Structure 1
């Protein structure tokens, strides 16, 4: 990473297409020794994406899943892990192979209507998700500080915008991510309460579920908050950002000799990042199942109720521990949400973009971020309780993800886009399985309502 935010070349400048890349180009890789930062600060896009996935929407949705269905939603995590990792690894490979983000590749490979639909769906879903996230951050801050939630929400919006504009995201996220360690408290809860481990193992493999719309809606929400559209755009663009931070790294289309090592790195980074995310989610579902569900709390409408899952471990400090988790992942997740929308729109409009640019050099990019967050702040004044808003934002993401996963799978499998670096066939198959599973879950949710 650079020590100063100097203007960088346009992401599409001087990047040959896969068809014209020189296959005999000299092998070159990132000059990591020249990155004058603490070595631990360079966290791969996959690991950051995994952390950002457990945003306030994720915590609320996983908590509601455990509270409402007990152990019978645990199966969603081992199911979603390979699907999530496959989709994210395709996104990372698209960015690294082409030197462009998802929107730029969609613009080149599909008719304009596809790009417009994808960007519109992403913007709508992201603004609603940001609104729910910042509303929840305000509510948990009020729970701890007793300061009005709307005032606290305004504070976090201002803080988020200031950090994104004034400080490269890669720098401050290194410190913020330590706050997410509070999510491990859900695992610690399991050592303080009775856990029927045989039932846990059995329900993970063979749940007791009714085929009603409530269960279908929960499955869509869990899959939507785990396999979220904004993460697709974020990870592809972050691969481009990381590549631009190096003096020597180039798109694999231009430097094919580096392909083998980079594909291994992407696989390790992405699958480990998604594994961390899914393990944390599994513990949240399990902890709320053996605390809230057992206590008869099956519908979470407030932050206080959600924090109750941590009470066996932290007692009266449960609110504080819950607040640290929500605020930590919120301050990481909101920039990812706003940034992914801005990446997509700027690539579609051919505007300068990049979190390492100065605001004056990428006014459109930072303008989209600011408008997204400010619009979300207005929406959060709706009468819907923040915890419910988080859940329904996850449902929206689950519906929107279906066509986007299909687009990602098509891009990652096309040699006209990827050149010699198309995604492995098992990964592409997993991508199509993901689109099918999420599509079936959406139909399962919608059809009973139409019939009644």
Structure 2
């Protein structure tokens, strides 16, 4: 192991995880998994189901191991190094590489946060007759106030309960009365169409399930958990036992399975209703919720919209805070949700700046789906090199000591890295098809 915690600290950490491994899963893995199913992702999955029906259900089980790989590698990096992702990049790689990756991540996070704010506001507008821009401002103010005034433990608890809003999609799928034979065939037998429409949605699914903000959030969340235990310096946080990493793997599997099942249910609900009724032109989650109501009943539409609203309050702060973490680490600012505003002023101002930009984009009359396309393009080109860096860092003994990746994790990680690079190439290919 590299410079590590003392034996007493490791014992204390192991005991705390013995007493609360399930709580950790519901506090870390579940939050990251739910954030992956943000309103923008919900819109992508809903669109996929509406266009291709149950035939595209196979993408859920195929992406599950890749989702686990990217999040666990990020978690492991944070636990063993005691630092967030961009802190490690800053310490071990050239500045030009740091800033090249950082700019893409910041742009992608901010645009996606803007689209999510718009998606949440549109979903709330289905129930409340208030102009969408006003709702966007109100949502942003509530979220920013929580980030400024709420403690990390409070935020984690709120996020944990908000994640459960995604269970609404299980109910929505049941109310859709799916065809069992078609569902089984679509889940187990991959169907691929070599045309622009299918390849575009396939690239979008891979891109949204493996978004860059997941990597940075998970590594920073591990650091915040250590700070919550009183380990405020990098030296105190360095190192992790095999038992800790094993429990972390289990926790992340729980979170990613939850996220993946939600993806599956969203595709199932729209594929069993909108697709069969010929309503394939679905671009947003709110539009999907509205379209579901006359076909699957008011309850299905309400549950679908409720999931968008609930998870949006989780995903937007993950993106804006994640962007602030990345910028602060690159510039050497103090950064922690445990710190009060006066103690980490630049970090919190960065959170506010990213939130303000996201709100402003909603007042520029932009099409949220077009914005997501551009966000996907930016993330599509920044995510592959970022994951490549994570693979290199988690195999670097200067960073990980003897806890570098084993053969199995390396195989899964490199397959995932290759899949993301191919998805980016596929994105380019769809422009010329």
Output the TM-score relative to the length of structure 2. 0.90
**Secondary structure of residue in 1 paired with 2:274:** helix
Match of 1:227 among 206, 210, 218: 210
Deviations for 1:243-295, whole angstroms, at most 9, x for unmatched residues?
11113698799775x51221112111111111110011111111110011111
> For residues 383 and 249 of structure 1, what CA distance do their matches in structure 2 show?
44
**Structure 2 runs not aligned, ≥5 long:** none
Match of 1:338 among 320, 326, 339: 320
Partner residue of 2:169?
A: 186
Shift of 1:86: 1.0
Partner residue of 1:368?
A: 350
Structure 1 residues 353-432: aligned runs within 5 Å: 353-386=335-368, 389-390=371-372, 393-394=375-376, 396-432=378-414
Deviations for 1:272-320, whole angstroms, at most 9, x for unmatched residues?
1111100111111111100111111112135553104653797335554
Partner residue of 1:69?
A: 52
Indicate yes or no: 2:145 matched with 1:145. Answer: no
> For residues 381 and 32 of structure 1, what CA distance do their matches in structure 2 show?
50
Shift of 1:52: 1.3
Single out whichever of 310-319 and 247-256 deviates more from structure 2.
247-256
Output the TM-score relative to the length of structure 1. 0.87
Partner residue of 1:292?
A: 274
Partner residue of 1:171?
A: 154
The change in CA–CA distance for 1:400 and 1:264 in structure 2 (over 3 A counts) is same
Shift of 1:31: 8.6
Single out whichever of 396-405 and 157-166 deviates more from structure 2.
396-405
**Secondary structure of residue in 1 paired with 2:139:** helix
Partners of 1:189 and 1:287 within 8 A in 2:
yes
Partners of 2:203 and 2:426 within 8 A in 1:
no
Single out whichever of 321-330 and 24-33 deviates more from structure 2.
24-33
Deviations for 1:319-358, whole angstroms, at most 9, x for unmatched residues?
5433321121111111110111111111111100001110
CA RMSD of aligned residues (A): 2.8
**Secondary structure of residue in 2 paired with 1:189:** helix
Shift of 1:107: 1.3
> For residues 277 and 302 of structure 1, what CA distance do their matches in structure 2 show?
19
The change in CA–CA distance for 1:206 and 1:193 in structure 2 (over 3 A counts) is same
Match of 1:135 among 118, 127, 131: 118
Indicate yes or no: 2:42 matched with 1:59. Answer: yes
Indicate yes or no: 2:77 matched with 1:90. Answer: no
Deviations for 1:78-122, whole angstroms, at most 9, x for unmatched residues?
111111101111110111101111101111222211111111111
Structure 1 residues 207-246: aligned runs within 5 Å: 207-246=190-229
Match of 1:99 among 68, 79, 82: 82
> For residues 192 and 302 of structure 1, what CA distance do their matches in structure 2 show?
20
Report how many aligned residue pairs link the two structures.
430
> For residues 170 and 394 of structure 1, what CA distance do their matches in structure 2 show?
31
Partner residue of 2:246?
A: 264
Shift of 1:73: 2.0
> For residues 179 and 314 of structure 1, what CA distance do their matches in structure 2 show?
25
> For residues 252 and 260 of structure 1, what CA distance do their matches in structure 2 show?
19
> For residues 232 and 199 of structure 1, what CA distance do their matches in structure 2 show?
35
Partners of 2:85 and 2:219 within 8 A in 1:
yes
